[in-house]
Each structure stands twice: as C-alpha cells, then as structure tokens.
Amino acid sequence: MRSGLECGYGRKSGASKRGGVIMASVTLEHEINPWEAQAARFDFAARKLNLDEGLWKVLRYPSREIIVHFPVSMDDGRIEVFTGFRVQHSQARGPGKGGIRYTPDVNLDEVRALASWMTWKCAVVNIPFGGAKGGVICDPKKMSMGELERMTRRYTAEIIEFLGPEKDVPAPDVNTNEQVMAWIMDTYSMHMRQTVTSVVTGKPINIGGSRGRREATGRGVSVICDQALKYLRIQRDGCRVIVQGFGNVGSNAAHLLQEKGYRIIGVVEYDGALYNPNGIDVGALMEYRQRNGSVLGFKEAEAADSDEIFTSECEILIPAATENVITSRNAERIRAKIVCEGANGPTTAVADEILTQKNVFVIPDILANAGGVTASYFEWVQDRQGYFWKESLVIEQLEAILSESFDAVMRYSETHGVNNRIAAYMLAIDRVAFTIKQRGLYA
C-alpha cells in the first residue's frame, strides 16, 4: 500500500505504471479501512518532511484509547449493554477536540482515524486543540428520546474523568446534535457540582452555544470553494456543483453557494438523487426535505440514479456524507474539476492516486470541512469568557481563518511539489511536531 502511495503522491500529475499495479492489488476491504488510509497518508507526509523518527512514533499513534461497555435501561424494561469509544490522539497543542457519533457500525479503527484527522485539522487551521473522537455502537433511529438520553448520560459518566474544558471537548457528529451535547454538558456539570458550559461545543445557544455554529461546516465548505475558484481562475457565476449528502453540511453548503451565484445541478442522497441542469432551488428543497424526510418527490428536479449523478460532469463535487464514497471503483469516472470534501474521509488513498492522475483538484477534508471545528473553537472561547459574539463576527473570523489556511496549504503544495492532501498533512504535522519539540518530552 505504501509503495503505491509513493508512486502517486508527490507529483502534480501522472503516475507510474507500478502505481497502477499496486492499486490493482489492494483489496477493497484494506482500501476503505479509515485507520490504514490515515496512517498511509501520515507516513508519506512525514517522510517528505524528514520527520525525526522519534516524533514519527509519537504522532503516528493515539495517546489514549478508551473502550467502555455500559448498561442502559430500555423503555420496555430490558437492560441493554452498549459499547462506546473515546480516542484521544494528541493533546500537544491543547485539549482534545472531536465529535461523538452514534451509529450501528462505528468501530475503534474508525474512531482512531477520525481522532487523528482532528489533530491534523486543528493544526491546519492553527487553533489550540488536539484531536479526539468518540462513538457509541447503537441505532438511534430505533431508540426513543428517553433511551438516547439515558445512554448518553451513562456514556458520559463512564468517560467523565477524561473530559473537561482543558482535557477533551466533545461536539456533535453523525446522529448526534445540540440536544445530545446538552445532556453531556448537564451530566458533566452534575458531577462537577457546577455548570460547565465549555465541556462541549455545538450546544443550544441559550446554554452557551455560539451563533453561526450550526451552519459553520457548510459555510466553511463554501469559503474554501471560493478560494479554490480564485486559485484556479474559474468564474463563480454559473459554476456547476453536485452535492452528495443533504444533511447539515451538504444542505448548508449548497444553500450558501447558491446565494453566491453557484448553480447546484445535482443532489445525491442514500435513497436517490435529483438533477436539474438549470439549477435546483436549494431553499425550497431544504423545506421539502424538512417536511417529508427525504428529497425524493421534489417536483422542481428530475429523479435520477445516485451513481450516475455522482459521476456527472461539473466544476465542483462536494462529498458531504460519510467515509469512502470515492474509491478505486468509481474514481476513474469522476468528472468534476474540483472535489471539496465536506465529509471526513470520503476519498480513499487509492482513489486519491487516481484523481491525481486525472488532475482533479482535491481539497482535503482536514481543510475543506474545518469550519465546524473552527466555530467550535469560537464557542469554547466564548463560554470561557462569558461573552458571546454577534453572528457577523463569527462569520468574519471563520472566513479569515479558512482563507489563510487555504493559502498556507497551497504554498506547501507548490513548495514541496505534492498534492493538496499531502500538503495539508505536511503543514499540520510540522506544526504539531514543532510544538512537541518546544515542550520537550516528560520522562
């Protein structure tokens, strides 16, 4: 796997025949393992940096992995035992930061990878956090609100000694939201015997949440798209965009982009897709989905095959749902000029190699979707100050940080002759490694 990456990364375009052989020999199961993908990219970037071997070992693995098994009383009187994870990858630059997801298939490798990505994401945008991530194996769609609350509170209690404003600050992720963060904050506060709003971010505004936080990840995607068009000298007006995933990130990104003059021609969801070459009214679609729970049946766009729309011709493709949607099976068919990763880990390492050969301008997740963690940083700061900002200030600061970060990644890409993802990794690893050198090792 690593030698295949070495063939593809490190060049603006083209790849050796040996790279194709390596790609063909990688099994799909190995390709889509998120931890393997993260580690391969880290190794390549670290090698390009000539990173000290000792620091390489320190940064390659999480500093702490927590697995808990805990009982919860269900509504029908049964006792169910759930498994939860919290992985803290690095706290060299500040407290751990990362979401908590509730899904039936979340696993330790996935959480490890996401925690590592959070370390690099926070370093890319230069905010004082390290990386962490959490998850509970469950299907929230089959649970009542009462069951979700009891599970959330028990999970919080099981890992409480590792949480705190100066230790590890969770946030919403897949299938978690403001309400879940409120339960975590309240549980932590009850144990501390004082209200501690800064223990989580992504909370309701009336209990310490930040204005602009809910839309921040999608807004960040829109800002990065603006910067990419400027960098590539592509006109914004009428720029065709396809969005995969119409949840919080995808819908907000699409709505904000449409307001700026982009044309949203396709929306891809798990249960189908919509297409309108003249542009989809995103505001109307958001209202329709809110009412009906699905985008299917929306009259102002044609129903279409998801795979066909995902690989349709456009200027920008935004994968904004889950991991591993661009793989060796479909990367060759991607016809977008720009892939802006609204989701975490949507492109596998092997697919990256194929997109590099095709000269697709990939904006990696650790830059493209960093608007969420940046706004979470603002929320954490506001909670600790007890002073809350106007939404206009949140937006202004968010746009400034993301624009500066995009420029920094492009400079690394040009200076080192690597693609954008490896440039972002190199920038992030360099910043974290420098901090560790400054702090020294406690022994």
What token pair was written down for 68?
């808990």
- Cβ neighbours of residue 220 closer than 8 Å, sequence gap 6 or more: 368, 369, 370, 371, 372, 374, 398, 402
Catalytic (active site) residue 230: no
Residue 41, helix vs strand vs coil: helix
Q: Are strands 168-172 and 96-103 parallel, antiparallel or unpaired?
A: parallel
**3-state per-residue secondary structure call for 360-419:** CEEECHHHHCCHHHHHHHHHHHHHHHCCCCCHHHHHHHHHHHHHHHHHHHHHHHHHHCCC
**Total Cβ atoms within 10 A of residue 403:** 15
What single-letter DSSP state applies at residue 333?
G
Q: By C-alpha distance, which of 278, 349, 285, 364 is closest to 318?
A: 364
Please identify which of the residues 133, 230, 260, 299 carries the catalytic annotation: 133
Query: How far apart (Å, rounded) are the C-alpha atoms in residues 115 and 121?
Result: 10
CB 316 within 8 A of CB 241: yes
* Order of strands across the sheet that contains 263-269: 302-304, 272-275, 263-269, 240-244, 314-319, 336-340, 361-363
Q: Buried b vs exposed e over 157-192: b needs ≥16 C-beta within 10 Å?
A: ebbbeebbbeebbbbbbbbbebebbbbbbbbbeeee
CA distance 310 to 302: 14
C-alpha 329/C-alpha 128 separation (Å) is 38
Neighbours of 99 (CB within 10 A): 24
Least Cα distance to 132 among 179, 63, 201 occurs for 63
Active site residues: 133
